[in-house]
Structure 1
Amino acid sequence: MPHKLRNRKSILVVYIGVAANFFLAALKTTIGIVGQSPALLADGINSTSDVAYGMVVSVFMRLSGKPPDEDHPYGHSQMESIAAVVVGAFVITTAIAIFWDSVNDVYQIFVEKTDFGGASLVAQWVALFTVALKILLTIWTLNIGRRTRNTAVLALGYDHRNDIFAASAASIGIFFGRMGHPWVDPLAGAVVSLIILHTGIEILRESTADLMDTLPGKNLGEQISALVTPVPGVGKIDEIHAHRFGPYLVVNVTVCVDGRLTVTEGDQIATRIENILMDRIEFMRKVHVHYHPLGSGGPDSRGICRTP
């Protein structure tokens, strides 16, 4: 996928998510107050925080789309991982806040004997509408995130999924509150907060792995080996090092060639390897190929591929 198209799709999905959360925040907060639903009001406040960090993410997304420059030869795609860290931190904070509110509500119901009463039927329908809208947003956002390999968009998709759980819990709480069982609402909220917390930790784990330059994985090495080994003139593969820059890959490959080849012939082999990897592996940004003579050098040899 071309870089500009990928960036446009990513920014579009972020903006639509922000707009949807802004609408839901206004709707749920208003109906939560008018309809006397603490559960829906809390969910509306959650949507308000979604708007705030969605706008922060949109700034990082625009920065990530800047072209490479002298100081950043591989581009600014790492901004996407930073944006994902922001989302993960907000998600964890939201989970802690929901859990704390749920514990406080349980205390008020069973210890202070606070009567929350029943919410209006409109609040129930708003909660169900939120679930339906968030299901659509989750499917669409995760689809775009996977196609573009954008960690920030994927993180937003997971947050939309969390909102499904939160709105479902609010809906269940409103329903049972109307039936005279107000304790169900905070209990459901506590369970949902644990699910949200787990998601936030996973988002942080994946995004920080990108920032810490964690190797992309064993499968990539096997794929590179399968493409490079058949190239004419390659005796064997000595080393493969791969690094991630956002969704993009930068690969360093060291191969062994016949020591009797000329420098020009060695460069031709290296060029073929570069072209194959750039053409066959998606999101490959740069390939560096080094070649050493294949020989039987001893353990102290430098720049020589030892024969088995």
Structure 2
Amino acid sequence: MSQYENYKKGEKGAWVSIIAYLTLASAKLIVATIGGSAALRADGLNNTTDVIASIAVLIGLRISRKPPDEDHHYGHFRAETIASLVAAFIMISVGLQVIIGAFQSIIETNYTQPSWLTAWTALTAAFVMFGVYHYNLQLSKTVNSTSLYAAAQDNRADALVSIGAFIGIVGAQLGLYWLDPVTGLLVGFIICKTAWDIFKNASHTLTDGFDEEKLDVIRASIISDEEVLEVKDMKGRLHGNQALIEITIYVDPELTVKQSHHITDRIEDLLSKKHDVPHAHIHIEPFPSQKK
């Protein structure tokens, strides 16, 4: 299956998230208004940002499917990473809004006792989001999508947020009225933390950051080829979710051009099958005589 087909398949996960978040956000905000729960309201606002974030992921996946053109010779795969970055900015803005609102309720001691309906709504939402999380996590691994993986992590965070809201509401029912707005405050911090993690990963990719440990593993595989005498240099970067590797290797200077070409073919095949690296630029140099 090509990466373009993978992105098309990955869109299903984005649609599942959008439908789930639209349904849960509407239910939470309505029930929170009726039942008077700050924690459930914060959770509902969180889900509204998740709708926008999921739409951004969907758009990113669709743009990433566009083939290379005259001014995008490597394709449009980085659109997926940009979508993750946009989602992070949206999430952190609402997270700060939730924190400010909850903090004001705590300072003003504006406590109310929420109804049990709000508690059961939060708990039901948690189970739904755990289901969405497992679906998107498996799909992200199948299609190798970084934005869908980030969406899955957001799904899990949302499930935990709903559990926290449930605990806060139950506490308020037991007379700990301050626990509901305090839980809302914690929800805001969780939203901001999730947004920061997504932003950090996306910005690391967009600035050509690459996992050094993965490079070491790839280097060890290449040097295991009996005709590769030394790996002189190796660099890596991500283009969307695809790794682009540049390698310079030393080989026997007596080899013909054809024999050297066979080495690069073997390495390219190794990188594709073992390390899921579809694109590699391999430069061959003769082994220096002074190193013998």
Consecutive unaligned residues of structure 2, counting only runs of 5 or more, are: none
Task: Establish whether residue 148 from structure 1 lines up as the match of residue 143 from structure 2.
Answer: yes
Q: Which residue of 2 aligns with 1:251?
A: 245
Count of matched residue pairs: 292
Task: Establish whether residue 292 from structure 1 lines up as the match of residue 285 from structure 2.
Answer: yes
Consecutive unaligned residues of structure 1, counting only runs of 5 or more, are: 297-305
Task: Establish whether residue 208 from structure 1 lines up as the match of residue 203 from structure 2.
Answer: yes
Contact 2:231/2:249 (8 A) holds in 1: yes
Task: From the superposition, tell whether residues 14 and 188 of structure 1 become closer, same or farther in structure 2 (CA, over 3 Å).
Answer: same
Q: For residues 222-255 of structure 1, what are the alpha-carbon distances to aligned partners after superposition, in whole Å with 9 as ceiling and x for unaligned?
A: 3333332243533222111222112111222211
Q: For residues 66-123 of structure 1, what are the alpha-carbon distances to aligned partners after superposition, in whole Å with 9 as ceiling and x for unaligned?
A: 22333223221111111111222223223222211111111221xxxx452x333222
User: For the aligned residues, what is the CA RMSD?
Assistant: 2.2
Task: From the superposition, tell whether residues 267 and 122 of structure 1 become closer, same or farther in structure 2 (CA, over 3 Å).
Answer: same
Over alpha carbons, which structure has the higher Rg? 1
Contact 1:88/1:155 (8 A) holds in 2: no
Instruction: Read off the aligned partner of 1:29 and give its amino acid letter.
Output: L
Higher mean alpha-carbon deviation, 157-166 vs 204-213, is at: 157-166
Task: From the superposition, tell whether residues 36 and 190 of structure 1 become closer, same or farther in structure 2 (CA, over 3 Å).
Answer: closer
Normalized per residue, the structure richer in helix is 2
Task: From the superposition, tell whether residues 92 and 275 of structure 1 become closer, same or farther in structure 2 (CA, over 3 Å).
Answer: same
Contact 1:61/1:80 (8 A) holds in 2: yes
Q: Which residue of 2 aligns with 1:165?
A: 160
Contact 2:253/2:286 (8 A) holds in 1: yes
Contact 1:87/1:156 (8 A) holds in 2: no
Task: From the superposition, tell whether residues 69 and 37 of structure 1 become closer, same or farther in structure 2 (CA, over 3 Å).
Answer: same
Q: TM (normalized to structure 1)?
A: 0.86
Q: TM (normalized to structure 2)?
A: 0.90
Give the Cα–Cα distance (whole angstroms) in 1 for the partners of residues 33 and 210 of structure 2: 50
Q: 1:238 aligns with which of 232, 242, 248?
A: 232
Q: For residues 248-292 of structure 1, what are the alpha-carbon distances to aligned partners after superposition, in whole Å with 9 as ceiling and x for unaligned?
A: 11222211122233323322322232233223221x121222111
Instruction: Read off the aligned partner of 2:126 and give its amino acid letter.
Output: V
Q: Which residue of 1 aligns with 2:56?
A: 56
Q: For residues 184-236 of structure 1, what are the alpha-carbon distances to aligned partners after superposition, in whole Å with 9 as ceiling and x for unaligned?
A: 11112223333332222121111111100012323x33333333224353322
Percent identical among aligned pairs is 27
Q: 1:196 aligns with which of 188, 191, 212?
A: 191
Task: From the superposition, tell whether residues 269 and 115 of structure 1 become closer, same or farther in structure 2 (CA, over 3 Å).
Answer: closer
Contact 1:232/1:269 (8 A) holds in 2: no
Instruction: Read off the aligned partner of 1:61 and give its amino acid letter.
Output: L
Q: Which residue of 2 aligns with 1:133?
A: 128
Q: Which residue of 1 aligns with 2:95?
A: 95
Give the Cα–Cα distance (whole angstroms) in 2 for the partners of residues 230 and 161 of structure 1: 40
Contact 1:166/1:189 (8 A) holds in 2: no
Q: For residues 107-141 of structure 1, what are the alpha-carbon distances to aligned partners after superposition, in whole Å with 9 as ceiling and x for unaligned?
A: 221xxxx452x333222211111111111122222
Q: Which residue of 1 aligns with 2:36?
A: 36
Q: For residues 22-67 of structure 1, what are the alpha-carbon distances to aligned partners after superposition, in whole Å with 9 as ceiling and x for unaligned?
A: 1111211222222333332332232222222322221112101222
